[in-house]
Structure 1
Amino acid sequence: MSNSKCQTLDTAPEPEDLQNWEVSRRTFLQSATAVGATLAVGMSPADAQTVMPGSAKTKSVTLNINGQDHSIQLDTRTSLLDALRDHLDMTGSKKGCDHGQCGACTVLVNGRRVNSCLLLAVSAEGDPITTIEGLSHGDDLSPMQAAFLEHDAFQCGYCTPGQICSATALLDEMKAGHASVVSFEDGTQNAPKLTDREIKERMSGNICRCGAYPNIVSAVRAVAKGMSL
């Protein structure tokens, strides 16, 4: 072993010094996070403290879910998905990736589908929210829910609530004449046609690990036929 290596070992910090250094490093990173948030969204230094660990800010929020108001006290950083599942016991919406990539948490806000894991609950206050629980009326399933059963459009079922919410909104979008990428590729953007390609494109934000995609397309097409789309 060279003398330089021996000297490095001889001058190595004591364990308690390493611990103090780690704490200081952690504190630095936390402070840097707060400063970065301040610069990114234009918060004042006082507001930036709310992103620091141990300084959570709570707020009373009233969410209109499936036609009923729910008033709850929430950390302002709580996602709509966590508010539904952890605070309101509405566990139909599933937490999959928790990064807005799988679609298992899809709900409808103002009739439009959103990934509830990415939406802050406080930002949905005042907007009508529909979850999978709100699509049926008691024991009467919605047409899309019934079609998923009839066409075996699921296997494990974990992604199914998000798939059904997304498919429900899809048909409303088609009825309103909203175009997709496929609509422009096919030259039908002014009057989109509900082809299999359109359905697959519009459902591409919902992942089914079991691979039930063909039956999902069949279920959507069956409901669309009943709506004359």
Structure 2
Amino acid sequence: MKASTHDDRPWIPPDLADGEGLVGVGGDLTPSTLLKAYTDGVFPWFNDDDPILWWSPDPRAVIEFANLHVSRSLARTMRSGKFHVTIDQCFEMVMRECGERRPEGTWVTDGMVKAYSQLHRLGHAHSLEVWVGDDLAGGIYGVGVGTFFAGESMFHRVTDGSKVALVSLLQHLRERGYELFDVQMTTDHTERMGATEISRTEYLHRLRKAVNKSHVRFV
């Protein structure tokens, strides 16, 4: 697929994409490009040896705040006091951990870490950390625009660390008035937590409404 542009974007409008969702090739990972991408319903996903690839799959996976599933055992774990949670305390560490120990390889390349860390410093990318004492047990990071938040990746070093991170993030976002939580594609893990798929058309409609609302703050 050749790179296509519209208004200096290296991707075609997602409405025109096929089901696989590859919408562009090339461009850069500057904050302005990344913010345009998330606002358009597009995200970068590529391996270290690839050019930058931009995606907008159909269907799209989301977790509805009202449909978050917390098992009884996980709820007990969260009440036990074993874990404690922080916000934006070690963004780059969380992001790098999300790329570790993946036998299939990782899209969390050094270039991605640098780009999203810059986005974090500008207040658009955030992390939530889960700790056992002074040890990092799990975490999640993502990007927020308006009342939209894209959960990019999560990890755990301790059993239930990533589950606690996901639940804690969704609770945090709901309390602050966010309306759309994107997980891009379902996995067994996110499906057990309540992830569902919606059409790209519905997703883009909801996204356009969510990114145009500015009354929320992540922190």
TM bucket (normalised to shorter chain) is under 0.3
Structure showing greater radius of gyration is 1
The TM-score, its normalising length taken from structure 1, stands at 0.23
Which of structures 1 and 2 has the larger relative contact order (alpha carbons within 8 angstroms, sep 6+)? Answer: 2
Higher strand share: 2
